[in-house]
Amino acid sequence: MIMLKFAAAAIMFFSFSPIWPLGPNPLPGDPFLIVNKQTNEVAFIHDHKVQSVITAATGKTDDLTPEGMFTVTVKAADPYYRKKDIKGGDPRNPLGTRWIGFDAEDTDGRIYGIHGTNDPASIGRYVSNGCIRLQNEAVESLYESVPVGTKILVVSSPKNFDELGREYGAIKNDPLKE
- Residues serving a catalytic function are 115, 131
Which one-letter amino acid corresponds to residue 75? K
**Chain centre distance of CA 131:** 10
- Cα dihedral 93, 100, 113, 167 sign: negative
Phi first, then psi: give them for residue 162, nearest 5 degrees: -65, -45
Positive or negative: CA dihedral 159, 161, 165, 171? negative
Distances (CA, A) of 144 to 11, 75, 102, 137: 28, 10, 16, 11
Residue 43 CA to residue 161 CA, distance in Å, equals 7
Q: What is the C-alpha separation between 112 and 133, in angstroms, rounded?
A: 11
- Of 144, 167, 70, 155, whose CA–CA distance to 113 is shortest? 70
